[in-house]
Structure 1
Amino acid sequence: MKIHQRFSMILVLILLVASLSGCNGGAETSKKSNVEVKQVSIGGAGTSGTFYIMAAGFSDVINKELGINSVAEVTGGSVENVKLIGDKKIEMGVTQLDVAQNALAGVNQFDEPVELTAVLPMYPNVVQIVTLKDSPINSFSDLKGKKVSVGSPGSGILATNEVILNTLGLSMDDIQPEYLSFGETTDAFRDGSIDAAIVNTAAPAPWIVDLETTHPVKFIPLTSEEIGKFTEKYPYYVEAVIDKDAYKSLDNDVPTFAVWITLVSQANLPEDTVYDVTKAIFEGEDILKDVHVVAKYITLDNVKNISGVPFHPGAAKYYKEHGIEVPTE
């Protein structure tokens, strides 16, 4: 009898443990299937650049409209943002379209492919070749032998400048490159330690506007032939102009080309979260219009300008609701 009672007690304990284990397992599954994103970090660039300004604007929208804690991160720019996304250190980032395509393919600045998805179009980043008003530099070829700011390490600007130099018959060996951020470039112009800068950024660029307050500048135009070497060979480059109204130093539009900037994200972020972020940004124009003039480019019509990068399913869901089909693979 005692043996029978002991066996019954053991059996009850086994069943109880199994039941508790099943409950715990169910709780874990439920928890994993309902992931709650508590923070969205957005990689920008240096604080004086448009990348960071827009990233901060997005974070403000996400905080106010969705109640999700969001912060803009100071980074080196496009390349670093993509690498941080690949390392799961930030959820989203601002990057050039060509850099995003390189990341997916694992080429140029990337040793292996980086998994990422597009969220929304931002604006065309305009190539601007800047020097001071009294400089003898008047054409791209005049940069040879000069001290030129080419962008900080990890930036899309530096990556693009390598392409620009090589495409137009120069290389880093033909100039004296200075690897400077926007703020450092402004200071370098003022203390006379650089002769020019090649940047691709929104116009007007805050750091150039700041430089104009003490030093009149001029912009070196590119010829139709020079522009064609980019737009005909690379699908992500488009013809553009620096509008004469962008800077007080300009009397005429300056012909150049541009590369589209896009907001990208980790591919495995929850669909609902990315949908909500996409919706909030597109519908948060009252906040973004005062952040920077380039916010005017964040339109549904410009979604078509983001190609060669799959869209996140959450973003695709929002676009589908507005009659726009985008690739997710």
Structure 2
Amino acid sequence: MNYRTLKAVAALAAITTTLPLAAQDREDWPSSVTIGTGSQGGTYFTYGSGFGAMLSEDLDLNAGVEITGGPVQNVTLVETGEHQLGFVTLGPADEARRGESPLMPGTPHENVRALFPMYQTPLQAAVLASSDIQSFQDMAGKRVGVGPAGGTSATYWTRFFENAEGYDGVTISNAGGSDTAGQLKDGLIDAFVYAAGLPTGAYAQLAVENDVRFISMDDETLATMKEIVPAMADFNIPANTYEDQPDDLQTVSLWNFAIAHQDMPESLAYEITKLAMENPERMVSVHAAAKETLAENVLKNQVIPFHPGAVKWFEENGHTIPDNLK
């Protein structure tokens, strides 16, 4: 081999070693991925649509977004391989891992792996300003929209109303976020309780178009919710997150994480995690809730094992993943 040939080989090797992992190892990548999100009007759908566009643009991957019932459905769709990516809150994901999913009861979801932290999902509640509902206790005997069946909102609000004392006669209504807001506006329900990242599109539009009152949890309601759902943590919704909301709102929240099936190629999981973690400004442009989509929040997840590709990115960037989460 002459000098020129050796020089060319060396140059090619240098270029190859500097290429992104995605460009070096794509042979086992799928031609497309589907992201399980949530209903229109909710944060998952907006976040997923924007992140899907980033995947398509940066990784040259055909990424599609599917409207779903939310985390309870998403974790099962990823477990069964019907979706390659999904968004979940840690409560439903942990229950599914333990075989307590209402969609597949008795079947532990052992194929699900975490990729990266997203943001916190606070529980929220609103009524029309003309309503006589001033507190959560006033919702007894009322018609309450809780979001789509299978979502975080419907799962935990329904559990609350069924188990907390003093809420006899609550009639539960299931629909997507935007549809539930429309039902409140039209007088078909008395209250709209939900769970989604801030600001939630359905509430934002509702408050712009109508006079609305947002309901803050009192200490008793907070304690009851955390007793019924131990994974919940205290959360404060800042004043003026929405129109007609001059004061802070006291509530609880759950963390959201992106998940994938354990069989996702390691290089793909690495690149997806890298894209989300290394582009904070782009992520916030997708949705304001992504201000919490930061590597420093990786250990907010203590229940779902991380995908090896995600572990590789986090540990390369100074974040130790405990052995029990690998």
Does 2:312 match 1:312?
no
Alpha-carbon distance in structure 2 between the residues aligned to 1:308 and 1:169? 30
1:189 lines up with 2:189 in the alignment: no
- 1:214-253 map, 5 Å: 214-231=209-226, 234-253=229-248
Name the SS for the 1:174 alignment partner: coil
Asked whether the equivalents of residues 37 and 87 of structure 2 are also in contact (C-alpha less than 8 Å), the reply is yes
C-alpha distance 34-213 of structure 1, shift in aligned 2 (>3 A): closer
Q: Does 1:160 align with 2:156?
A: yes
In the alignment of these two chains, the number of paired residues is 296
Equivalent position of 2:194 in the other structure:
199
Q: Deviations over 1:209-249 (max 9, x none)?
A: 11122211111111223323444675531111121120111
TM-score in terms of structure 2 length: 0.86
Match of 1:50 among 43, 50, 54: 43
2:100 corresponds to 1:107: yes
SS in 2 for 1:290: helix
Paired with 1:283 and 1:77, the residues of 2 have a C-alpha distance of: 26
1:274 aligned residue? 269
C-alpha displacement at 1:314, in angstroms?
Answer: 0.7
The equivalent position to 1:128 in structure 2, one of 107, 124, 127, is: 124
Alignment of 1:205-216 (within 5 A): 205-216=200-211
Measured after TM superposition, the shift of residue 87 of structure 1 is 2.1
Q: 1:78 aligns with which of 47, 71, 76?
A: 71
- Structure 1 CA distance, aligned partners of 2:307 and 2:159? 28
The worse-fitting range, judged by mean Cα deviation, of 110-119 and 222-231 is 222-231
Range with bigger deviation, 33-42 or 105-114? 33-42
Matches of 2:298 and 2:244 in 1, distance apart? 33
Structure 1 length normalisation: TM-score? 0.85
Structure 2: 5+ residue stretches without partners: 1-25
The answer as to whether partners of 1:42 and 1:91 remain within 8 angstroms in 2 is: yes
Please name the residue that 1:139 is paired with: 135
1:307 CA displacement:
1.5
* Aligned partner letter, 1:267: Q
Cα-to-partner distance string for 1:172-224 (whole Å, 9 max, x where unaligned): x6311111111111211121111001111112211111112221111111122
Q: Distance in 2 between matches of 1:241 and 1:312?
A: 31
Structure 1 residue ranges without an equivalent (≥5): 1-32
Structure 1 distance, partners of 2:228, 2:170, is 24
Q: 1:116 aligns with which of 112, 117, 138?
A: 112
Partner of 2:12: none
Mapped partners of 1:95, 1:174: distance in 2: 30
Instruction: Give per-residue Cα distances to partners, 1:259-303, cap 9 Å, x unaligned.
Output: 111111111111111001000111223422211110100011111
Q: Secondary structure at the match of 1:135?
A: coil
Partner SS, residue 122 of structure 2: strand
Contact 1:237-1:257 at 8 Å conserved across structures: yes
Letter in 2 for 1:191: D
Query: Is the alpha carbon distance of 1:233 and 1:135 closer, same or farther for their aligned partners in structure 2, counting shifts above 3 Å?
Result: closer
- 1:47 is displaced (CA, Å) by 2.3
Q: How has the CA–CA distance of structure 1 residues 299 and 188 changed in structure 2, closer, same or farther, with 3 Å as cutoff?
A: same
Q: Compared with structure 1, are the counterparts of its residues 167 and 253 closer, same or farther at alpha carbon in structure 2 (3 Å cutoff)? A: farther
For residues 53 and 170 of structure 1, do their structure 2 counterparts lie closer, same or farther at Cα, with a shift above 3 Å needed?
Answer: farther
RMSD: 1.9
Larger radius of gyration: 1
- Report percent identity of matched pairs: 27
1:64-100, Cα deviation, whole Å (9 max, x unpaired): 1111111111111111111211221110101111011
- The one-character-per-residue Cα deviations of 1:108-144 (angstroms, maximum 9, x if unpaired) are 4131112201111111101111111121111111111
The residue type equivalent to 1:127 in the other structure is: L
Cα–Cα, structure 1 residues 124 and 324, in superposed 2: closer, same or farther, change >3 Å? same
Classify the secondary structure of the residue corresponding to 1:244. Answer: coil
Paired AA for residue 245 in structure 1:
N
CA distance in 1, matches of 2:91, 2:244: 30
1:23 maps to what in 2?
A: none
Deviates more, 1:126-135 or 1:34-43: 34-43
2:254 maps to: 259
Instruction: Give the conservation status (yes or no) of the 8 Å contact 2:115–2:259.
Output: yes
